[in-house]
């Protein structure tokens, strides 16, 4: 990788990395430090959902010491999707051209972000993918990897979106894409949020590129995944998939419009 590739934010315009947190006091400082070691010019916005462990106060100290770090305090735990929507809105209002999704727990390596931003020069959405050639998962039990791969396959078939890792949470969006996605209409809150935005982006005809990453399961803290989050994703994807199939059938059997000469178009 050349020096020019290692600093793609200088070529692409201002980059904001949105990092949602809930009880990530022991992780947030480390992940932001790694981010700025990999990409000194990017800004980080921590969206904290009122963490009772004092994560918000830790970030306040980081903000005071570094003008590349920002914080958005929210009063309650409202879900991953709502946190990202709030963070994206904050970034769009301030003119960032590229907005990044990244977890606070270290599962998304900031060292992979330069390659993703490099790919963003010719894409509208870049997904850090576990399931394309070169991607991998570390420290996950086999059962969880099988579940994740199955969820991705099901979503891909149901929605007709040719994305290998449609549930991935490490992403780079062009600001233009987020403006057209009508984020205020996005109701998905957890795991399903990633699927929702991927599908919307695909349906609008934007170019999506997947870049291989190494996903490492968290070492400190507890996963926020729950049964309710998984059920939400299954129900919503099934509903969207059925609606998509219904629209396809209606288009096949809809009466053909006739031209003035009487022939069908």
Q: Read off the pLDDT of residues 2-46 as tens digits, 9 standing for 90 and up.
A: 333 334 444 678 999 999 999 999 999 999 999 999 999 999 999
Q: Give the separation between CA 151 and CA 146, rounded to whole angstroms.
A: 9
pTM for the complete prediction?
0.83
Quote the pLDDT of residue 7.
Answer: 42
Residue 159 within any structural domain of the chain: yes
Domain that holds residue 64: 3-252
Residue 234 within any structural domain of the chain: yes
Residue 217 within any structural domain of the chain: yes
CB count, 10 Å around CB of 76?
9
Q: pLDDT > 90: what percent of the chain? A: 60
Q: Read off the pLDDT of residues 90-131 as tens digits, 9 standing for 90 and up.
A: 999 999 999 999 999 999 999 999 999 999 999 999 999 999
Residue 262 within any structural domain of the chain: no
Residue 263 within any structural domain of the chain: no
Quote the pLDDT of residue 5.
Answer: 35
Domain of 12, CATH number, reads 3.90.550.10
Quote the pLDDT of residue 155.
Answer: 87
Measure CA 66 to chain center: 25
Quote the pLDDT of residue 186.
Answer: 82
Sequence-distant (6+) residues with CB within 8 A of 23 are 51, 52, 53, 55, 221, 222
Residue 259 within any structural domain of the chain: no
Number of separate domains in the chain: 1
Residue 265 within any structural domain of the chain: no
Pairing mode of beta strands 171-174, 125-129: antiparallel
Q: Read off the pLDDT of residues 40-97 as tens digits, 9 standing for 90 and up.
A: 999 999 999 999 999 999 999 999 999 999 999 998 888 889 999 999 999 999 999 9
Residue 260 within any structural domain of the chain: no
Quote the pLDDT of residue 249.
Answer: 55
Residue 227 token pair: 């049964």
Contact yes or no for 81/92 (Cβ under 8 A): no
Instruction: Say if residue 162's pLDDT is above 80.
Output: yes
Report the SS3 class of residue 171.
Answer: strand
CB count, 10 Å around CB of 168?
24
């Amino acid at each position: 990788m050349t020096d020019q590739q290692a600093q793609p934010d200088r070529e692409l315009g201002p980059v904001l990395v949105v990092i949602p947190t809930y009880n990530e006091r022991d992780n947030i400082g480390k992940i932001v430090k790694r981010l700025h070691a990999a990409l000194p010019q990017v800004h980080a916005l921590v969206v904290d959902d009122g963490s009772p462990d004092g994560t918000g106060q830790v970030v306040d100290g980081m903000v005071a010491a570094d003008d590349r770090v920002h914080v958005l305090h929210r009063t309650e735990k409202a879900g991953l999707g709502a946190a990202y929507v709030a963070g994206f809105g904050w970034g769009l209002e301030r003119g960032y051209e590229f907005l990044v999704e990244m977890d606070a727990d270290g599962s998304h390596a900031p060292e992979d972000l330069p390659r993703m931003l490099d790919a963003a020069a010719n894409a509208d959405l870049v997904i850090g993918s576990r399931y394309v050639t070169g991607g991998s998962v570390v420290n996950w039990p086999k059962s969880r990897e099988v579940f994740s791969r199955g969820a991705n396959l099901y979503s891909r078939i149901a929605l007709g979106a040719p994305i290998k890792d449609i549930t991935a949470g490490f992403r780079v969006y062009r600001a233009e894409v987020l403006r057209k996605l009508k984020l205020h209409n996005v109701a998905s809150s957890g795991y399903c949020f990633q699927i929702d935005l991927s599908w919307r982006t695909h349906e609008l005809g934007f170019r999506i590129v997947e870049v291989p990453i190494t996903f490492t399961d968290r070492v400190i803290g507890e996963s926020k995944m729950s049964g309710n989050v998984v059920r939400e994703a299954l129900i919503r994807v099934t509903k969207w998939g059925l609606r998509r199939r219904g629209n396809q059938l209606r288009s096949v059997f809809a009466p053909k419009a006739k031209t003035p000469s009487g022939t069908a178009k």
